Amino acid sequence: MRHLLSAADLDRDQALTILETATQMHDVQHREVKKLPALRGRTVVNLFFEDSTRTRSSFEIAGKWLSADVINISAKGSSVSKGESLRDTVTTVAAMGVDGLVIRHHASGAPAQVADWVDAIVVNAGDGTHEHPTQALLDAYSISRRIGDLAGKHVVIAGDLTHSRVVRSNLLLLKTLGAQVTLVAPPTLMPSGIGAWSEAAGFATTYDFDAVLPDADAVMMLRVQKERMTGGYFPTPREYTVGYGLTRERLKLLPPNAVIAHPGPMNRGLEITADAADEARSLILDQVSAGVAVRMSVLYHLLGGAQ
């Protein structure tokens, strides 16, 4: 694996190797000196064309804890805001001798295109509504640490599927790891063509959230992405919560050992209530912590593991 552009880039052994290494990297967070020499002398540029706090910070911390030189570039205030093209921007940055580019872009497929233009390794940190592979890895890592091997486990993913890049990467990775996946959303937020997709990829879909919760080992709530919506996808926020929110009443349907995940940021009171977000089964803060460990593992395997 030269780049990480999609969760589909990983076979089961590669995914498990990254997750196992993340377990070792996670220990660094508890050390007095949070530093490993693995990427000393390497330069990683976080090139973010979309605003992001947690993902960019997570990659920055991951790179620095591996002793890489990390530079952050955002579209605002850079040559991009002066009209420079994506190709000119990334080839200019790459020509400075960087070893890795971590890219978030509003256009689906942009990181894959960049990988064809530069010699540096490229990590997709989220592209449009396409994919977010490191989010899927940290979700799988967080869930498996609580409930064990994901093979045969039932993971329910509920919410705004149409605008989510997280769901695509999670679906691909969870199937690679042998999990059973059910997607839940109102009809207006089910992606176009999902019937043929679910048949080919082997996952289930339903509009009935209550029906699948009693058999779930994990439920992942997705954010309602209001900023990507151009029309009315549901009548009112209250009606969305009643039909598809993880509420206090729905928590009673979940098995006691089932866990709750959310990739964040959350719309509290819309897709998830405070009762669910803050209860003992919630992995939400675990996912944030795991993000650094998983991204350390990804950078290590792409930039340092072969040395």
Q: Tell whether 269 is in a known binding site.
A: no
12 is in an annotated binding site: no
User: Is 130 annotated as belonging to a binding site?
Assistant: no
- 113 among annotated binding-site residues: no
Distance CA(88)–CA(72), nearest Å, equals 17
Q: Is 92 annotated as a binding residue?
A: no
Q: State yes or no: 105 annotated in a binding site.
A: no
**Strand (E) or helix (H) holding 100:** strand 100-105
Residue 30 among known ligand-binding residues:
no
56 marked as part of a ligand binding site:
no
From the number of C-beta atoms within 10 Å of its C-beta (0-12, 13-18, 19+), residue 166 rates as buried
DSSP 124-141: EEEETTTB-HHHHHHHHH
Task: Return the ∠ at Cα 142 (arms to 256 and 68), rounded to 5°.
Answer: 165
129 is in an annotated binding site: no
Closest CA to 173 of 1, 18, 3, 2: 18
C-alpha–C-alpha distance, residues 178 and 200, integer Å: 15
- Partnered with residue 70 across adjacent β-strands are 44
Q: Does 238 show up as a binding residue in the annotation? A: no
**Residue that has been written with the tokens 């176009």 in this structure:** 192
Distance CA 222, CA 204 (A): 17
Contacts of 205 (CB under 8 A, 6+ apart): 182, 183, 184, 185, 190, 194, 195, 198
CB 52 within 8 A of CB 110: no
Residue numbers belonging to the annotated binding site for carbamoyl phosphate: 54-55, 104, 132, 135, 264-265
Binding residues: 54-55, 82, 104, 132, 135, 165, 223, 264-265
Per the annotation, binding residues for L-aspartate are: 82, 165, 223
